Structure 1
Amino acid sequence: MSKCILVILFLIVGCNYSVQKQSPVDLPEFTFTTGGEISFATVQQYVIAPVCLACHSVGGSRGSNLGDINLANYQNVFSQREDIRSDILDGSMPKDSPALSGYQKRLILAWLDAGALEFAGQSNTGEAPPPTKPPPEPVVVPNIPDSEIYYDVVAKYVFSTNCIKCHGGIPGSKRPDLTNYASVVLNIDDMNEQLNTDQMPPAPPKGIPLTDAQKKLIFTWLDKGAPEKSAAAQ
């Protein structure tokens, strides 16, 4: 008899665990037909608060603003909306957490597709809300002789300032890692092509385009064969 009870308890616990994994948000589903019926508050309640803020908020339980991304308010989420969509579709986020349920995916993607409105029924103007902080000052690149342009210089004035926010080498991310020389070299052909076609870095609010001085610096380095360091230093 005791064995039967243990088996039944095991099955019950297993079933509950399965339900919890598939439905991480213990709330009645918000019924919607179009994304325009969904407000930011609803998305925050069902997706962002239970799934994202552990990593992407000040003092989150798993880290504070990981990846320099804070999703604690509407303006910040709106500015990251294209990255959020991309990460959800390719499965790279949420990281180290249970995957979004089918309902959570449908909810947030419908909201994003409708223009990521702050309030349900709001007209979609396509305009961003006021930014929470001013854009950073352009990077000032000193006058560096071509003979002294190596990886460390490019990393200081280009990669660390304009690229690492999205290409920070996060495990599981499909974005190229630009945090070290070996990884940069592995992706150098794609990087060169995207720089030449102005695809990267993207325009605000998603990214920070390079200044003319930054472009001159990185293209000079690429034309030299992208050396890591001078022959004298090797």
Structure 2
Amino acid sequence: MDKEIKIFAYMKSLTILYCVLISSCNYNIQKQNAIPTNEIAFSSGRELSFSSVKEQVLTARCLTCHAVNGSRGSNKGQINLESYQNVFELRDRIRDSVLDGSMPDQSPPLSAYEKKLLLAWLDAGASEFAQNEAAPPPAAPPPPPTSVVVPDIPADKIFYAEVKKYVFTTNCVKCHKPGGRREDFTNYQNIFNNLADIKDQLEIGDMPPPPPKGMPLNLAQKKLILTWMKRGAPEKPN
């Protein structure tokens, strides 16, 4: 009888130990499979947005070098990854660097989670917004430029200063400025050298262009500049 009791107690102890071991293993498995609180769950790259990729990967692993005043360099390699547009334009290079492990440079490699998330987003087209995320409303268009009010100036009092103030400064120098792709209309000599072309553009109505690129001259402005040209485009009173 005593022997049977001992065997029963022994088997009971084994059963308890087995249950403890199973419970411990199950806990470890759940712990390994659990998503850390700072990670996000996703089943497709289309569920990811640029902001989430930036928060989860780019900020800590890329922007230390590839940002203005990054902690390890400023736009290293002439590459800036702070904006969506920059990242989108470089998406193929970023993908290659992730796959071959060349980036991050001189830093620990991306974790399995970071690599999975970044590649999933890139392979899904690297959209700025997730498929279930509404794009922000478009910005309101800028108000149309107001028409320039030209005072009534006698013809013999119209010189370069008046035309510059009421025509060139208000309607031309946005494009016709120093270092621009078009003729510089910020000084008298350049304007005088191009009078014939300016007159032709005014007569056919090509310049200045309509909004949003420019603002055509109103009737008072046209009268002012054409009167000035008719007088020989004087720079100042003799």
| TM-score, length basis structure 1 | 0.45
Larger Rg: 2
